[in-house]
Structure 1
Amino acid sequence: MLSDHTTKPPMVSVVIPVFNAELYLKRALESMLSQTLNEIEIICIDDGSTDDSLKILQEFQAVDDRLIVVSQANAGAATARNLAIEMARAEFVATLDADDYCSPHRLETQLEFLQRNPECVAVGSFAEIVDEYERSITVVTTPTEHSDLDTRAFKYGECAMCGPALMYRRSALIQVGGYREQYNFVEDFDLFFRLAEVGKLACLPDVLYYYRQLPTSICRTKKKEQRILIEKCIQETCQRRGLGLDKKASLPRFLPYEISTSRHYVNVAVQSILGGNPKTAQANAFRALQHQPWHPFPWAAFALSFMPSSVTRSLVQNVFGRDV
């Protein structure tokens, strides 16, 4: 579908940083190009990909000029997003990670909310966590009101909303300085706190975003770095707001650690059990067994996936602990 960029600015600018996402990029782009809101531009920043990501972007751009493709040397997601925000022509900016996808009415729903609530600078949504084959793992629900979202971020040391599922007012992003490169790997967490200081945040109680959990996801491969940056971000936020820092209440309850591929699939299986998706649990437990056939955890996850959900939660915590 072609549009005339010279006559009318888009309603929403969509920002997609792309780095070696060839396996899932088409799905992400298709989910944006099929939105019920048509008046959009999709700014894709190829962040030095070494696979066919740039080729895929150019192929999509050739048939739909709502796509704007820029290629840069690898500099990280924060830098890529900031470049796209500078280029954005719309008043509202939505983000999407290149290995995720969203519902067809996501942009329209979030735009309507922001237009109705001028005090709100950003709005997110519930997210469904899926595995690499788009099998449902669980649905992540969060508070919906500003004060509860802010409190949760301090209490648990985690972004209270799914970062890439947000739509922002571009003016607010510029006011707070956008994403900060020094907080790469937790840039959404850092931005969340700074936006909360210039306006209200909200989360819609609808699943509008689908977050793909992969063995290569940042939350799996950069946990140590994330831990350090989260502590730094909370401390800086407390200083900026003139608050005292209670480390026991403010920092994450569990020390993140690097995990094996097998443990990744075990964790996905366990989350699927708790999310009421036994088929997804069985498939991922089997994947874990392929990596570590003699380890007890994959076998335990596989066995638990066949048990009634009413008895699995306490068993899961007893077998695997709470950090899954």
Structure 2
Amino acid sequence: MKPNVSIIIPIYNVKPFLEQCLESVLAQDMPEIEVVCVDDGSTDGSSDIIDRFAARDERIVAVHKENGGYGKAVNRGLKHATADYIGIVEPDDYVDPTMYRTLWEAAQRHGCPDVVKAAYWRVCAAGTEEEHMLPANYLHCVSKVDEPFQLAEDAEFLFHHPSIWSAIYRRSFLDEHNIRMREIPGAGWADNPFLMETLAEARTIVYVDEPLYFYREFNVGSSSNVKDPSIIYGRWLDMDDIVKAQHITAPRILEGHYNRGCAYLEMLNDDFDVEDPEIKRNIKAMVARIDYNAVITSQKIPQNYKDAYQRHVSAPARLTHKIGRVFK
């Protein structure tokens, strides 16, 4: 029987969490699933766990490959996936037993939309004595619930963490638009451009206002675990390339996109030497692509993000923007 959803799990050295992840996926109350486990060259015993689970459950497809990074692993999984809808689970997370049935049923109710998305639980300070759960920041904030919409109508998702794993994607939609993960070494925040490309290209999005995924946050509110600043500015510039290529002008989408740009500028300000020539050059490129007036007049972009952005806008440039606004 053909599965309804293929769930891709890109796996690299996550032995402490992998069994819980796999158990939660296999415990779905919709049995018509396929679980494509892509072992990205693990060296910690994760490979043995995958093979053990595959031997006991025929729904698991075990794929072993040399290490190539998160994006390559997901794309390899797509080559093996056979269902009409694709889900992605990160191997140090776990899912509610109703997740894929809930998303699949929403897809059937609404004529097989391109994307069906849910909220999620934030497992904050994961693995510490302070571990606790909070709902995704966008829970109860999306205006369109259980009805098809486009990102231009409500771009709330763009203001929050790029939770690409709290969704399922229609396979033919991904293929039609040639949407794949960027094959960036390591993790590399490949979820950023994937989020923008899928949501902006989608003709129909359906949102289920329930937290169905458990996302572990090991270092809340800091980019200090990112040692390479090019990951931060590079992924936002990738997203902006998508915005330009799709000729996006919808104010709500651009506002969400600029919000992320300003947030990433704050990360760069806080954790890196912004006078370093390479960082400075890329910050300049980011600032040049952000609409000054859209940021300053936004009611949704936080003031600290605006301040991080304005730090890199020269006084003459600010004056030019203000004059332009007055005489439009």
Q: Distance in 1 between matches of 2:118 and 2:85?
A: 16
Q: How is 1:1-324 mapped onto 2 (pairs within 5 angstroms)? A: 8-118=1-111, 120-130=113-123, 131-133=125-127, 135-142=131-138, 143=142, 145=144, 146-147=150-151, 151-152=155-156, 156=159, 159=161, 162-182=163-183, 185-195=188-198, 196-215=200-219, 221-222=225-226, 224-243=229-248, 251-253=261-263, 254-256=265-267
Q: CA deviation at 1:256?
A: 1.7
Q: Distance in 1 between matches of 2:33 and 2:230?
A: 35
CA offset digits 1:118-147 (Å, max 9, x no partner): 362112211111143494232113226443
Q: 1:225 to 1:138 in 2, by over 3 A?
A: farther
Q: CA deviation at 1:59?
A: 1.1
Q: Secondary structure at the match of 2:67?
A: coil
Q: 1:73 to 1:24 in 2, by over 3 A?
A: same
* Aligned counterpart, 2:326: none
Q: 1:30 to 1:217 in 2, by over 3 A?
A: farther
Letter in structure 2 aligned against 1:224: P
8 Å Cα contact 1:31/1:102 also seen in 2:
yes
Q: 1:68 to 1:119 in 2, by over 3 A?
A: closer
| Stretches of structure 2 lacking an aligned partner (at least 5 in a row) | 145-149, 272-307, 309-328
TM-score by length of 2: 0.68
Percent of pairs with identical residues: 24
Q: Secondary structure at the match of 2:126?
A: coil
Q: 1:30 to 1:153 in 2, by over 3 A?
A: closer
8 Å Cα contact 1:125/1:162 also seen in 2:
no
Letter in structure 2 aligned against 1:255: E
Q: Distance in 1 between matches of 2:82 and 2:258?
A: 43
Q: Distance in 1 between matches of 2:83 and 2:47?
A: 24
8 Å Cα contact 2:3/2:34 also seen in 1:
yes
Q: Distance in 2 between matches of 1:249 and 1:56?
A: 40
> In the comparison of the two structures, how many residue pairs are matched?
253
CA offset digits 1:288-324 (Å, max 9, x no partner): xxxxxxxxxxxxxxxxxxxxxxxxxxxxxxxxxx9xx
Q: CA deviation at 1:182?
A: 4.7
Q: Distance in 2 between matches of 1:109 and 1:151?
A: 22
Q: Distance in 1 between matches of 2:182 and 2:62?
A: 21
8 Å Cα contact 2:8/2:88 also seen in 1:
yes
How well do the aligned residues superpose, as a CA RMSD in angstroms?
3.2
Q: 1:174 to 1:57 in 2, by over 3 A?
A: same
8 Å Cα contact 1:185/1:218 also seen in 2:
no
Q: Distance in 2 between matches of 1:219 and 1:11?
A: 37
Letter in structure 1 aligned against 2:22: L
Q: 1:152 to 1:77 in 2, by over 3 A?
A: same
Q: 1:182 to 1:42 in 2, by over 3 A?
A: closer
Range with greater deviation from structure 2 (120-129 or 232-241): 232-241
8 Å Cα contact 1:114/1:120 also seen in 2:
yes
Q: Distance in 2 between matches of 1:42 and 1:215?
A: 28
